A and B are shown apart, each in its own frame.
Chain A
Amino acid sequence: MSDAKGLLQRPSHKLFDIGHAATLKIHAQRPGRKEMQVALSERLLDHECEMPPATQLRDGLSERATCISHRPGLTRLIPRVTALPPFQRLLDEHATDVMGVLRGAVGRVDAEDCFQETFLAALRAYPRLDDARNLRGWLLTIAHRKAIDHHRANGRRPVPVAEVAEVAVEDPGPADDGVWELVGALPPKQRAAVALRYACDLPHAEIAAALGCSPEAARRSLHEGMKRLRKELT
């Protein structure tokens, strides 16, 4: 530990000469396993790796430490808190929920575009993601942002017209569509909270994480949204 602290005070370019190869070797042998990450984190504490001081001091040494190598292709020696799973697994586990949230937030027709944008944005950022512990929350946060972008881009209420243009739409969907239409008419925060709660079964804490607000605020948005829905339905 004291070694690591000492190292942190050295100029960063001197930090990877020693012990580096051994670390690399372990990494190459069996990456991605939790045990190994623990081993690596310990190695980081015991040995010689650079940690950007700001990161290092923010969340504690072992958790967020990132080790940067000068060698091309080996920019990240000390893994994230957990290894990033293949992106396909995120799709297998969360795509349906993300679609559910988006349908609640922007409606069936526009949900598809938001879905594509959400996952393309996620794919773009994925390799640089530091913390793989709450991938679901991360995806839902992106989805929420995309839904807000969508509303901003539309930026207006529907305008009544004499004749409605013919637009291709997907299958009519389940019988509770009427309710979701009302959900779609709620203000953005309430709409998102209701969708996250009832389309995805998220607990308040995760809704809060996805909306970027406190759990109390999430609870309040949900409550307000539900109150308004009840009023409109009775």
Chain B
Amino acid sequence: MTAIDESLRRLAEHADSEGLLDVAYANVDSPYGTLLVATTPRGIVRLSLPNYDPEEALEELAEKVSPRVLEAPARLERARRELDLYFEGKLSEFDLPVDWRLTTGFRGRVQRAIARIPYGRTRTYTEMARSAGNERAVRAAGTACGSNPIPIVVPCHRVLRSGGGLGGYGGGLPMKEALLKMEGIL
């Protein structure tokens, strides 16, 4: 670690203790590539998958949450540990506080319903539309899955088409398939 890295680490600590660390993020390795995980003092607010430009994800956080965005891996230790265990197949339920502020309205309701789908189980887009209070808004439920700001932790990969088709996935279909296989669904 160079001297400047050490100074930056200390800065993140000071910022945190002075309440200036509005968004802390870290890069987390996964079997699918590097994930970017971000948290606010309330909880995990964003997880961007390997095929999404991390710079873009950070810019969005700066715009929508706060420009005080700092790399602070120490603040994401717990999330990293749980993700590691999940990818090893040793964790079936995340115990992480979630900050829902990037989701609102119907999409927000769908995403909260997704968060309640248990490990190893699936739902259809229609079911998700129904649990969000509008059975006919299947397409909107699909969009809500696609715009999930915290995939994996909010397991939108467990939502499939009614006919059994995979549907879509922000991280690419191979990743969705692999996650479902890992959970023993496929």
- Taking Cβ atoms with an 8 Å cutoff, the residues of A that contact B are 31-32, 83-89, 91, 95-96, 99, 112, 115-116, 119-120, 123-124, 126-127, 170-171
Contacts and interface: CB of A to CB of B under 8 A. Distances in A.
A87 B59 contact: no
Contacts, number: 70
Nearest to A132: B67
Interface stretch (B13-21, B119-127, B155-163, B173-181): B13-21
A174 to B, nearest CB: 12
17 contacts: A31-B63, A32-B59, A32-B62, A32-B63, A84-B62, A85-B67, A86-B23, A86-B59, A86-B61, A88-B69, A99-B3, A116-B10, A119-B15, A123-B68, A126-B67, A127-B67, A171-B3
Which 4 interchain pairs have the tightest Cβ spacing?
Answer: A86-B69, A84-B67, A31-B63, A86-B58
Contacts of B66: 127
Nearest to B58: A86
B20 A124 contact: yes
Contact of A87 (B4, B7, B68): B68
Interface centre among A32, A86, A119, A120 (most CB of B within 10 A): A86
Interface of B is mostly: helix
B4 A95 contact: yes
A87 B25 CA distance: 12
B67 A87 contact: yes
Interface of B: 3-4, 7-8, 10-11, 14-15, 18, 20, 23, 25, 58-64, 66-71
A120 B15 contact: yes
Given A115-B7, A170-B3, A123 B15 contact: yes
Interface centre among A84, A88, A95, A171 (most CB of B within 10 A): A88
Interface of A is mostly: helix
A189 B102 CA distance: 47
B8 A87 contact: no
B56 to A, nearest CB: 10
Contacts of A124: 18, 20
Contacts of B60: 32
Contacts of A88: 25, 58, 69-71
B14 A116 contact: yes
A116 to B, nearest CB: 6
A171 B18 CA distance: 29
Contacts of B70: 87-88, 91, 123
Contacts of A119: 11, 15
Nearest to A99: B4
Given A95-B4, A95-B7, A85 B15 contact: no
Contacts of A89: 58
B63 A83 contact: yes
Contacts of B11: 91, 115-116, 119-120
A123 B62 contact: no
Nearest to A115: B7
Nearest to A127: B67
Nearest to B3: A170
A103 B23 CA distance: 29
Contacts of B14: 116, 120
A103 B7 CA distance: 13
